[in-house]
Structure 1
Amino acid sequence: MNTADKEQTLRRISQAIFFNCSAAYLVDAAADTYEELFADEDFKAAVGPSGTLTDLYKGIFQQISSGEVQNNKNYDAFVDESLFKRDSFTGNVTMPSRNGLKSFIYRVVRTAENENTIYFMENTEGHDSDRLEKMKMDTIQENYLFSMIVDLKKDTCRNSATTEINADRQDYLDIKYSRWRYMIANMFMPNDKSMFLSASDPENIIERLEKEKLFRMEIQMQNMQGEYIWVRLSFSRMKDFSRENPIFVYTVQDINEDMLRLLHQENIIAAVEEKNKELDNINKAKTVFISNMSHEIRTPINAVLGMDEMILRESSEEHIRQYAYNIRSAGRMLLSIINDILDYSKIEAGKMEIIPVEYSSSAMLDDICSIISIKVKEKNLKFNVNIAEDIPSRLYGDELRIKQIIINILTNAVKYTEKGSVTFTVDCVGAEEEGMTGLRVKVEDTGIGMRKEDMSRLFTAFERLEEKRNRNIEGTGLGMSIVVRLLEQMGSKLDVDSVYGQGSSFSFVLPQKVIDSRPAGSFESARKKRLENEKPDEIPYAPSAKVLAVDDTSFNLTLVTHLLKRTGIKPDTASSGEECLKKVSENHYDLILLDHVMPGMDGVETLDRLRRMGGSAAHIPVIALTANVMSGARERYLNAGFSDFIEKPIVPSKLEAALVQYLPPELLEKREK
């Protein structure tokens, strides 16, 4: 607590109690410490500015006489733990001063949880003065509606005090406790009467106060105006309390305002929790909807792109092939839009995972340049690539998402540039942590640029700048929003600079762990060498392999059959889980391609039933071939027992790679395209 706070606390509380306070100390009973708020010379001579409670007690309650430490008579009462659990307590003490012994009135006031303030004032009228008694009564009246001392052995209420508002309760004085219990019970809510009678039962009180110094209960009680208010009933044992000497103090404290405030807060919290639950249900419904939408859209796209692939493979007529290329381009654009929507939904749901792997920096950048070069050529733009030679050859990070970020930025630059160039620059900067580097990426274009007032809207989901001007540009408006979110997840941010009508610049620095610090060298040289060393794709040829394709859509079965044609494989087909199990029981298969979402028995249940058939069926490799690609889909399929996962639309090279991996080696022959 700083000096200003100390003075404010002292002024606020002490003025309400004393105007001529001799000393004040802030006590933290839980931490067993005290701190001086204010002290005159008498207290400074005996008590230090801070220390343990033992130090405080010694300074105030003990005096040195003839070389021996002697306790004040109130020492035991003051160090009692229950003292610091009360809202207020008043007593008196005699302590040595510069001019001999002096008598002081002290008051303990609770100011916070485990925190109390003790005030001292010189008592010039003696310990038993009217002034001390008045202070005690003021303390009671300030904190309690009602208070009395009960002797259970004698069945009497020996003493009591009430506030003016409850003055007519003086008839509770000097009556039998057993009678008083039933009189007071009528003041509680009907449903609470039995609870009060149980709590105030003599045997219950004795048992509880033998174990603890006090116990309390919060309950609604009728005041003298006939209104029910919240009160706190306290039963606290007197010193030397025992079953043979069962004397305790009963108090009633008005906590109505605090309780109403608390109940109001609880109602607000309950309302917020209900709203959050509602929003959570909406988000879950949205996730299910997007998952279903993804599956429903990917299924026909799979057929479109798959059949288009067959046209490109089998047709030699140039104009037909040109139509097919156009279909493939449009289909891939549609698939890109779907992927953007799915990625954004994953990020919004907090399910986008960053999965770091070890990767080759030059290979990753080469993949990016290969993809963007095609887009740049289509618009007759110049593509400038500046890759620093000192970039570490191997890094550790989420290669897939880094590619996605850079490709999104480059694609955006190409989209909004009609003439001129797109410049792609990559180098490394120092990092704060050892073994790390900062991968710095910059994309500049000579495109249409942005106004300053529009730049903040660049990253708003589903929004595109200058809609009328850019209405012919394809896209969802999600790409840059996804970029920003992914960079945030990887500890980076996107910097943007733009001049309207002249172009834009996008850059970021991404921290990456260095696996191999050897420089990657010349990017162009490495790319040329890689192209020279690349072998033409080889198509697996396994005419004797037995493959079963299972899908409830006949079009998909036709597509898989055609995609496997050049491998020499003629697959069996099944249109349901039940038919799949029947064919497996009758035939031997080397590999099963199994759809997930099917009516009746779905792919997961079919796989489970298949494994339980035993024999060779328990070991057949089964690949999930599905349009369900929501976050974590791959992990869920692998955990369900599938050997692998291939998403729809099917990429022919992935399907062929799976044949190489899962078919028995002795069945494979290789044939060049």
Structure 2
Amino acid sequence: MLADCKKKFANIDDAFAPVLVCRRHADALEVLHISAGLCRTFKLSREALLHGLVLPVNDIVHPDDIVRVLRYMQRSYLDPDEPQQFSYRMKLPGMTDYIWLLSVIYGHRLPDDTILQYITSLDITQEQLAHKEQEAKFEHTSALLEKILDTTQTALFWKDRERRFLGANKAFLDYYEFPSDKVIIGKTDEDMGWHGEEEPFKNDEWRVIHYGESTYRVHGRCMSHGEMRDIVASKSPLIENGQIVGLVGSFEDVTDEIRRQEQSRKLNVQLQQALERAESANRAKTAFLSNVSHDMRTPLNGILGIAELAVKTDDINKMREYLQKIMTAGSLLKDLINDTLELSRIGSGKKQLDLEVVEADHMLERLITSIRSSAEQKKVNFHVGLALAELGFVQVDRLKLSKVLLNLLSNAVKFTPEGGDVWLLGEILSSDEQQGLCRFTVKDSGIGMSPEFIPRMFMLFEQENALSAQGVQGTGLGLSIAKELLTLMGGEITVDSVQGKGTTFTVEVSLARVNVPHGEKKDEVDEKINLNNRQVLVCEDNELNREIVTTILEMNHLRVLNAENGEEGIKRFLESPEYSIEAILMDIRMPVLDGLEAAARIRALSRPDAKLVPIIALSANAFQEDVDASRKAGMDDHLTKPVEPEILLSCLAEHIGAYTKKQQG
């Protein structure tokens, strides 16, 4: 049989595939035939092949392939009828390089228990080189893609059809502070528990996987770096062989963007509100000017009309009646001007507290003097009950507190019929070493207010309708100003009123207590100080104003020196004997030399009375900065024109009394 095989192999045409026929013994190999095709594969002669193929496997097979080759040879020996196919590298003596072979072993066991094997070997070196090149390209592409994924700032991830993570790039892992993708692989978003609301992401991933839809910038929130952040995610299906096998997605953090949008939205709202406030303020300003214009023209019309009637009458009684009406209308006009200026100061934001140290039990003396005079003119009984002496000295803005109470008391007198009563009460609710909480009560037995009016009584120009019918006139600004000033002082105001029976206003304000050493305590003012024969220098450029002040003073037995400007006032002061002028009333705006400069120059004089003589501003300049400028120039007080005689005389009594005591001390 073996002889027949050899004869048959000898006739095999060289065109056949590379074939090796051999007989394998337990420990030896006998080559029976080498085809010409095999010689061409190895580019060796039959003799060279015969010599090389019988060498040990370790000498001719590539070291990396030896184990695999021996394994397949062992299989072919144990089960010769089962074909074995494998690839490997081989280099025979005479060859410079290894060649890749794809060999198939077919076998048959002979009666003598040897194995007859047919081995076909194809040269696949070029295919292997091409495969290796392709693998290298693939590895390069994979490395490049991995580099791109890891360097991009966009967080990327990919999932299977069950929404389980298959991987993610570095930006994704860094965002969630994960050391590697092993933390997330095989898990869903629900397993990770990082979303505040799972439904938005779960629903859009369902559409991607089951319907092949792509989603774009779906908003959601997730936990990152210890805080809930805003993100938008975009996702698309992963398709292989026409089937959706998962999804790929990306997301970006838009927390700062949303915060900026929210800030922009709030800013737009604020701008819109500011615009509305500006428009409202503009409308209020227009309405305010309209109301002020109307309310100014009303008393002005009365003054001019009645003045014309007074000029034409010879009846003394009629003349007195007309003059009284002129005074009433003028007083109303003065109140309106003062209130308008006060509102202007409040609205400009320039209003601030001007604190001074005063004795609590005496801080309202000028106010009381003014109201008592008004009450007497109207024949209204004015009652005062102040129990504040226990506080001693306090730090307070006396002018603003007086303004609040003045507005309340003026209304009380105005709206109380003849023979009625008005009360001003003051008590200490609580006190300690630092401060005292005081309550001031202004009560009247007047016409009262309706329940409908009380909620809007602090609004500008609001007046009880019934007042007009009863002939009671007012500006409608006093209560608004009182409320604003009290708010500035940190106080509160409440009201209780019964129409037809009267009104009670309650003001509560906290006053800081001041410990003034006994030697520094201010002298108490003697309200009944004798002003007879006291000499006052009046510096006033307006002839009519100068005449009015001079007349008031002379009617109360004071001696008056007049000057038409500041320079003349200084001259008059220097020409007078020392201490003979006991007070100076100084207008502010005057030609040649204004009152501020004149006061400063008088204080700078070397004569001893120049530093002590009371200088009182008497000016139409009514703003707080005007008062501050007066005091900075060296003046002791500031009165606003038109000044009430009682206020003027009270102020002179206070300062001349203090001046006299300083001379005596």
Task: Normalising by structure 1, report the TM-score.
Answer: 0.44
Flag the structure with larger Rg. Answer: 2
Higher relative contact order (CA 8 A, sep 6+): 1
Task: Normalising by structure 2, report the TM-score.
Answer: 0.45
